[in-house]
Amino acid sequence: MKNNQSVSVGIVGASGYAGEDLVRLLLGHPQANLKAVTSRQYAGQTVAQVFPRFAHYPRARELRFAEPNAELMAKDCSIVFLALPHGVAAEFAVPLLNLGVRVIDLSADFRIRSAPVYKEFYQHDHPAPELLAKAVYGLPEFYRSQIKDASLVACPGCYPTSILLPVLPLIRDTLIKPESIIANCMSGVTGAGRKLETEYLFAECNESARPYGLPKHRHLSEIEQEISNAAGQTLHIQFTPHLIPVNRGIVSTIYAAPKEHFTDEQTMNALAEKITRSYQQHYENEPFVRLLSGKLLPDTKNVAGTNFIDIAWRLDARTGRLILMSAEDNLVKGTSGQAVQCFNIMTNLPETSGLL
Amino acid sequence: MKNNQSVSVGIVGASGYAGEDLVRLLLGHPQANLKAVTSRQYAGQTVAQVFPRFAHYPRARELRFAEPNAELMAKDCSIVFLALPHGVAAEFAVPLLNLGVRVIDLSADFRIRSAPVYKEFYQHDHPAPELLAKAVYGLPEFYRSQIKDASLVACPGCYPTSILLPVLPLIRDTLIKPESIIANCMSGVTGAGRKLETEYLFAECNESARPYGLPKHRHLSEIEQEISNAAGQTLHIQFTPHLIPVNRGIVSTIYAAPKEHFTDEQTMNALAEKITRSYQQHYENEPFVRLLSGKLLPDTKNVAGTNFIDIAWRLDARTGRLILMSAEDNLVKGTSGQAVQCFNIMTNLPETSGLL
Amino acid sequence: MKNNQSVSVGIVGASGYAGEDLVRLLLGHPQANLKAVTSRQYAGQTVAQVFPRFAHYPRARELRFAEPNAELMAKDCSIVFLALPHGVAAEFAVPLLNLGVRVIDLSADFRIRSAPVYKEFYQHDHPAPELLAKAVYGLPEFYRSQIKDASLVACPGCYPTSILLPVLPLIRDTLIKPESIIANCMSGVTGAGRKLETEYLFAECNESARPYGLPKHRHLSEIEQEISNAAGQTLHIQFTPHLIPVNRGIVSTIYAAPKEHFTDEQTMNALAEKITRSYQQHYENEPFVRLLSGKLLPDTKNVAGTNFIDIAWRLDARTGRLILMSAEDNLVKGTSGQAVQCFNIMTNLPETSGLL
Amino acid sequence: MKNNQSVSVGIVGASGYAGEDLVRLLLGHPQANLKAVTSRQYAGQTVAQVFPRFAHYPRARELRFAEPNAELMAKDCSIVFLALPHGVAAEFAVPLLNLGVRVIDLSADFRIRSAPVYKEFYQHDHPAPELLAKAVYGLPEFYRSQIKDASLVACPGCYPTSILLPVLPLIRDTLIKPESIIANCMSGVTGAGRKLETEYLFAECNESARPYGLPKHRHLSEIEQEISNAAGQTLHIQFTPHLIPVNRGIVSTIYAAPKEHFTDEQTMNALAEKITRSYQQHYENEPFVRLLSGKLLPDTKNVAGTNFIDIAWRLDARTGRLILMSAEDNLVKGTSGQAVQCFNIMTNLPETSGLL
């Protein structure tokens, strides 16, 4: 089923949820040839043994997890995905890049342009600060041309994707005051990774909903970096994540003050038109952004398992605020799907290849 | 088990989730004597047949659902709980009150002081506007003395309870700007009642999270009424409800601008102390408000099935905002438990009777 | 993306869960051209409006639900899927067949060879008994050649598929006593359809697990028909369905007495070999049956959203019994995916087309 | 609230789900005085800090977890509950018993009369075989008088309770063939304890249903011991547990062959009467066994959080089998509630004290 112009790829750290979803997408990708997967924990086992849900792929039955080894990977793969914890990813990126392999990193290691900001949020020195200038932020809707030629792509975090896609067009078109942004987000439990911590056990999450990590969650660093870039000034926003009992999905509800006051129906309609136009100009040709119309509001169940992000918005005449809402699958558009979208761009494949 | 000074009570509309939870609480209440329950749908069946989970109560095996009849109820009950849809509740309240029965209404019918505001939010004329001045808003933490002698108590909505309890102390003590309030809430599915609508079927809610009813949900009317009262001025706030796949529980995350700027650690600590003091003064003797300390944050699983509301807060030095968070069981502190708390106050029983 | 040799298809009754999943599979099917969908409830709306999760398909944005009309469908479609309740499906099948359209029926109407048995289990006279002899039971693993030329295919029920696929090979190879079969099954809530009944509301199913419909569930009629056919004698088996809080998935755990006693390790190993061989002979070339090996046991999460059925088994030396276990997605291999598999066979397409 | 004749109790190993539920029940128990709780992991923290849901109990705010120490416990407590893993529990029981403390053990260590059977199922030598003869199996419905005076009570496992209560009356009254028993059970995830294993993470259990541990789960040892005792002969039964995504609850569906064939309505009715009578004779005065009548079937949601077990049964005239069904909360009647029921019996308290 794989065609002739296939690209050989590998995954380092394929045993977490992000890695597993990458395996799913790459096994099913018509032009990707999954040559290597690594995992200390599962070394020696086949992909089909570790993930029985992929057992029908002949490739899953023959490909075995290996110990990570940059040189072996470089021989087999022209692009390698890193699905590793922050701090660790950079260590693997360096030798791979030196060996001429292009790297798509799913960790936070190359998302932040500034090594001091990285340290402020991740509590350790950046392991490879010399690479920060080289890395491209893998948000195709805003960095497509840079991604195309990048040797190192830093895929955005799941929360940042769900916040940036609704807000960036309106900041660029100076329709909202960026410092007024309050992003209230809820995420499914796979967002925490396949981590063995009591708080992620079934009975701790089921019938539970809770805020966490506020007021300074790590993802703020990249959200603020990108918003500041778009706004042309350094600024802070509010961000509160919550954990809810679904496997996959993030809903972000974002409050912002429009630049223009709307005091009556006429000014509200005028503003609404500008917002509509802004979104259309940015997204009408985007294959994975769906602008909801009419009474529709985002719902994780409409995007789970897909690379789509659904966006809706409402103006509130009573308070003068704009409310933006988005839903995405945290593991797909929020992580692995977006990585594959970047891969397609980097390899001149149709951008939706393996993603529809 | 019921003691001698028991109070005879009835429930009109006992077949929904709020009604069922009232039945649960009143069957287990040491001083309440459940004399009558009505439900058109279940008339003729015993409580144990309709709700097998209560089958071990002898009273549940003998008490049968009846068609609603104010005169029969008035003969048997000194206090009647109405667990009916808005609009319908008022029709039952009028004859019961005329017959000298005290009424605890769980619907929205008597929560709003102003008949025009009621009409604006509920889209029909108020069925008994003459009673509005008589009704007491059943939030014990703020209306305890009025509840004590009330003949008609209007129990607050589930969202309003979860928002008002964290914000009212700070508004009263002029620590926050009330017009800055943004309440972002998530609710379990019982909040929608036992309604036969497609959107509440299991497979529509499970693995789903979604905003709804924004920007002008009905509960805003009472939230704004109470906030305006406390602030001494009429004002609007932002409120966005979300539906999440849990049976019971509301988490409210509320953003507000403090009156005082805090620009360094010293001013932040000073403000933190004032907030701490405000909450302690209002709640340290409240039996059902738990102020979380240390790193604890509210979680629905800690309050499900109980009449507690858990409250925590954080100051964000980066944005200058205060974030308040609460968790409650929407059916207990949010509805039926609060109704029983009012009942205890009205009948001079210990306020925690039947609730711990 | 649709290729030139595409087949024009329609769906009658596309608003339930089975219909929605058919829409999903056919919109994504490379050789199916979805020309018509009907639904009384949604007539006039586009597929994208009713099912926003499909909004990225251009076809979903242009195709509108229509009132069902056999003649219009016959003009546009060479194959029509019926996703209707039993009793109703037959009424649509008759005119469509008369107009030369091939019909793939997802209801129970044509699964039972005997009109009296149909009446015994479905409590009404069969609406078109003359068609019973014509219909082919749409279980590809056992009726592939008949399906190929059938004008009327009756897709098996979800429970029957999950039971028959594990048991039929062993009955055919006379390895188990068919009358000893006890099938204990659990199903996700979509198995009940998108039915507006209290018992399927979120809060009635979440945190609930319960048996239902025993001891004579309707699906027994087709299970026993097929088992009796394979065994060459009419017989009854035991079947108990349970409802569990997952969206998709059936796990069937089936107890059977082997024909041969195994009294020591040697006889047990001999029997195990025969069972292994029986399954391999029947299924090793089947694209959608996965025989689990080693310690793996079936799990709904490995098949959800796919057309696979996973099968495992264990011999219990202590009791002399054989335990068979299967997991499938009740909406895919249990309903719509199997229908598409039949469609592929009927149209000489690769059997996995649109299903991987 | 605690009355004067309170009994001083302690819990060793109070940090798991069983221990936490014991804490819940004992904090709310009117005659139990919780003097000590131990947990290596939480030593030094208060009960309220570790379990914020109990923070309203003054006792939870003052009582701190300690390192386990038999002598200190013996000074403070007249009865100690052990909520420890098997193997470890026996080590604590020995010194406590030597110090004159009565022990209620929730582990498997003292459930099995035979040390070799214990070793066969638990894969290690029994740590205190001399105590086996002394221990009483804590199933109040069948061992009430022995429990009363016991110094060492071994509380039954959660699955065994759910199976034994429906089957023992019918075995004692020789209405079923005990060797024909097939128990098919599904359990909520707390049944696995608060164990840090990947398979119990939220996203591994949510949307998952799966058999496990067959065909020789450890609980079989005590199930078969008790069934053999009742039957007067040593025998084996079939038992298959399944994991389903609920927090609390076990449903057991049990298949058995009646001793008497029922071949027509008359013999079936005669048998039905005998079964009815058997259950009534055994259970009509039992405070925690609820025999369901009419069309009612067991449902975990009706027993969650309670000490009840709901039982229903059906005769199947087509197959000649009897199907028994039960539902209980695995943590309450299946573990901690049953332990408190034993405690009440041992201390001459009303048997329902603290449990209704």
Interchain proximity C299–A52, CB inside 8 Å? yes
Q: Chain centroid to CA B77: how far? A: 23
* Cβ of residue A303 closer than 8 Å to a chain C Cβ: yes
Q: What is the DSSP letter of D263?
A: -
Catalytic residue among B158, B185, B205, B342: B158
Token pair listed for D257: 């062959």
Name the helix (H) or strand (E) containing C354. none
- φ and ψ at A37, to 5 degrees? -135, 140
Residues contacting D145, CB < 8 A, separation 6+: none
Per-residue confidence (pLDDT) for residue A3, from 0 to 100: 52
Q: Which of B211, B246, B298 sits opposite A253 (nearest CB)?
A: B211
- Distance (Å) from the C-alpha of residue D114 to the closest C-alpha of chain B? 37
The number of helices, as runs of H, and strands, as runs of E, in chain B is 12, 14
Listing DSSP states for B59-87 in one string gives: HHHH-BEE---HHHHHHH-SEEEE---TT
Residue A64 burial (CB < 10 Å; 0-12/13-18/19+)?
middle
Q: Are D140 and D147 in contact (CB under 8 A)?
A: yes
Of C56, C296, C356, the CB nearest to A52: C296
Neighbours of chain B (3+ CB pairs under 8 A): A, C, D
Task: Indicate if the pLDDT at residue C3 is higher than 70.
Answer: no
Q: How far is A6 from chain D (nearest CA, A)?
A: 33
- Backbone φ and ψ for B83, nearest 5 degrees, come out as -120, 70
User: In chain B, what percentage of residues exceed pLDDT 70?
Assistant: 99
C28: nearest Cα among A300, A28, A3: A28
Strand, helix or coil for residue B111? coil
Q: What is the pLDDT of residue A263?
A: 82
Q: Do B201 and C196 touch (CB under 8 A)?
A: yes
Distance from CA of B36 to the nearest CA of C (A): 24
- pLDDT in 10s for each residue of chain D, 356 residues: 445 579 999 999 999 999 999 999 999 999 999 999 999 999 999 999 999 999 999 999 999 999 999 999 999 999 999 999 999 999 999 999 999 999 999 999 999 999 999 999 999 999 999 999 999 999 999 999 999 999 999 999 999 999 999 999 999 999 999 999 999 999 999 999 999 999 999 999 999 999 999 999 999 999 999 999 999 999 999 999 999 999 999 999 999 999 999 988 999 999 999 999 999 999 999 999 999 999 999 999 999 999 999 999 999 999 999 999 999 999 999 999 999 999 999 999 999 999 99
Q: Which of C205, C237, C244 should we substitute to test contact with D (largest number of D Cβ atoms within 10 Å)?
A: C244
> Does the distance separating the beta carbons of D194 and A247 come in below 8 Å?
no
Nearest CA in chain B to A187: B209
pLDDT value for B1: 44
Output the CA–CA distances (angstroms, integers) from residue B190 to B205, B331, C33, C204, D329, in the order listed.
Answer: 11, 7, 41, 10, 21
Nearest CA in chain A to D243: A202
Cβ contacts of C318 on chain D, cutoff 8 Å: 215-216, 236
AA letter at B291: L
Nearest CA in chain C to D324: C211
Burial D46-79 (b: 16+ CB within 10 A, else e): bbbbbbbbbbbbebbeebbbbebebeebbeebbb
What does the alpha-carbon distance between residue B267 and residue B260 come to, in Å, rounded to a whole number? 9
The alpha carbon of residue D1 is apart from the nearest alpha carbon of chain B, in Å, by 11
Query: Which of C189, C197, C206 is facing B245, going by the closest CB pair?
Result: C206
Output the DSSP codes for B167-227.
Answer: HHHHHHTT-B-GGG-EEEEEE-GGGG-S---GGGBHHHHTT--EE-S-S--TTHHHHHHHH
Closest CA relative to residue A63, chosen from A32, A90, A86, A84: A32
Q: Name A269's Cβ contacts closer than 8 Å, sequence gap at least 6.
A: none
The torsion of the CA quartet A181, A184, A189, A195, rounded to 10 degrees, works out to 50
Interchain CB contact of C201 with B (< 8 Å): yes
Partner-chain contact A305 C308, CB within 8 Å = no
pLDDT digits (tens, 9 = 90+) for B242-281: 999 999 999 999 999 999 999 889 999 999 999 999 999 9
Return the number of CB contacts < 8 Å for B and C. 60
Q: pLDDT below 50 — which residues of chain A? A: 1-2
Does the distance separating the beta carbons of A290 and C56 come in below 8 Å?
yes
Q: What is the pLDDT of residue C66?
A: 97
Q: Do D292 and B52 touch (CB under 8 A)?
A: yes
Strand order in the sheet with D321-328: D210-211, D238-243, D182-187, D250-256, D321-328, D309-316, D289-291
CB within 8 Å: D242 and C299: no
Q: How many CB pairs under 8 A join A and D?
A: 60
- The helix/strand/coil state of D181 is coil
Residues of A in contact with B327 (CB under 8 A): 209-210
Q: Nearest by CB to B201, from C200, C245, C246: name it.
A: C200
Hey, CA dihedral for B107, B112, B113, B116, is it positive or negative? negative
Among the partner-chain residues C290, C301, C305, the one whose CB lies closest to the CB of A56 is C290
Q: What pLDDT is recorded for position D65? A: 97
pLDDT, residue B4, reads 56
| Other chains touching A, judged by 3 or more CB pairs under 8 Å | B, C, D
pLDDT at C290 over 90: yes
Report residue C60: phi and psi, to 5°. -70, -25
In this predicted model, what pLDDT tens digit does every residue of A284-322 receive, in sequence order? 999 999 999 999 999 999 999 999 999 999 999 999 999
Of all residues in chain B, the one with the smallest CA distance to A328 is B209
Q: Using CB atoms, which residue from A28, A49, A56 is nearest to C308?
A: A56
Beta-carbon contacts of D295 under 8 Å, excluding residues fewer than 6 positions away, are none
What band does C5 get if pLDDT is binned at 50, 70 and 90?
confident
Interface test mutation site (partner C, options A53, A301, A310, max chain C beta carbons within 10 A): A53
Q: Are D183 and D252 in contact (CB under 8 A)?
A: yes
* B314 touching C (Cβ < 8 Å): no
Report ipTM for this prediction: 0.96
C partners (3+ CB pairs within 8 A) are A, B, D
Q: How confident is the model at residue B41 (pLDDT cuts 50, 70, 90)?
A: very high
Residue of B179, B172, B214, B169 lying closest to B313 (CA atoms): B169
The answer for residues whose C-beta is within 8 angstroms of residue C315's C-beta and 6 or more apart is: C258, C262, C268, C271, C272, C275, C321, C322, C323, D215
Of A158, A185, A205, A342, which is the active-site residue?
Answer: A158
Q: Does the distance separating the beta carbons of D203 and A201 come in below 8 Å?
A: no
- Nearest residue of chain D to residue B247 (CA atoms): D301
**The pLDDT of residue D202:** 98
Write out pLDDT tens, residues B113-153.
999 999 999 999 999 999 999 999 999 999 999 999 999 99
- What distance in Å separates residue A241's CA from the closest CA in chain C? 24
> From B205, which residue of chain C is nearest by alpha-carbon distance?
C202
Nearest-CB residue to C194 (from B198, B245, B247)? B198
Q: Please state, rounded to an integer, the average pLDDT across all residues of chain C.
A: 96
Which pLDDT value is given to residue C263?
Answer: 82
**For residue B100, is it left (φ>0), alpha (ψ between -120 and 50) or beta?**
left
The CA distance from C164 to the nearest CA of chain A, in Å, is 21
Placement of tokens 């800055």 in the chain: B180
Q: Do residue C52 and residue A299 have CB atoms under 8 angstroms apart? A: yes
Determine the number of helices (DSSP H) and then strands (DSSP E) in chain C: 12, 14
Q: CB B196 to CB C198 under 8 A? A: yes
Farthest CA pair distance, chain D: 67
**Contact between D215 and C186 using a beta-carbon 8 Å cutoff:** no
pTM (two decimals): 0.97
3-state secondary structure of A288: coil
Q: How far is A302 from chain C (nearest CA, A)?
A: 4
Q: Which of residues 74-103 of B touch D (CB under 8 A)?
A: none
**B118 Cα to chain D: minimum distance (Å):** 37
Instruction: Give dist(CA C204, CA C207) in Å, integer.
Output: 8
Q: Is B267 on the interface with A (CB under 8 A)?
A: no
Report the pLDDT value the prediction gives residue C4, as an integer from 0 to 100.
56
**Residues of D labelled catalytic:** 158
Residues in chain B within 8 Å Cβ distance of D28:
356
Q: Which residues of A touch D42 (CB under 8 A)?
A: none
Q: How confident is the model at residue C1 (pLDDT cuts 50, 70, 90)?
A: very low
Closest CA to D140 of D182, D115, D168: D168
Compute the C-alpha angle D91/D94/D95, nearest 5°: 100
